[in-house]
Amino acid sequence: MMNYEKNIKELESILQKLSDDKLPLDDSLKLYASGIEIARSSLQELNKFKGKMEILDKQLKELEIECEND
């Protein structure tokens, strides 16, 4: 999850830069594109994390069933 946290900080930085009225349009577009890529990467990481959590949850439920049957 460290990449996710790093990405969030980077997105916050990009948003702050984009809020500057004096930023040239070309630079704004580059920052916006970078933000989209970072957001996409973060979403992929969250989906992987969610998948791992679902696997662990399933394993926990199976363990609970085993314990009930013992």
Domains and CATH numbers, the chain: 2-69 (1.10.287)
Q: How confident is residue 13, by pLDDT bands cut at 50, 70 and 90?
A: very high
Three-state SS string over the chain comes to: CHHHHHHHHHHHHHHHHHCCCCCCHHHHHHHHHHHHHHHHHHHHHHHHHHHHHHHHHHHHHHHHHHHHHC
pTM above 0.85, yes or no: no
Q: What pLDDT, on a 0 to 100 scale, did the predictor assign at position 10?
A: 96
| Mean pLDDT value of segment 7-35 | 95
What is the pLDDT of the chain when averaged over all its residues?
93
Q: How confident is residue 1, by pLDDT bands cut at 50, 70 and 90?
A: low
Q: pLDDT of 39-64, one tens digit each? A: 999 999 999 999 999 999 999 999 98
Which residues are within 8 A (CB) of 41 and not within 5 positions of it... i.e. 6 or more apart? 3, 7
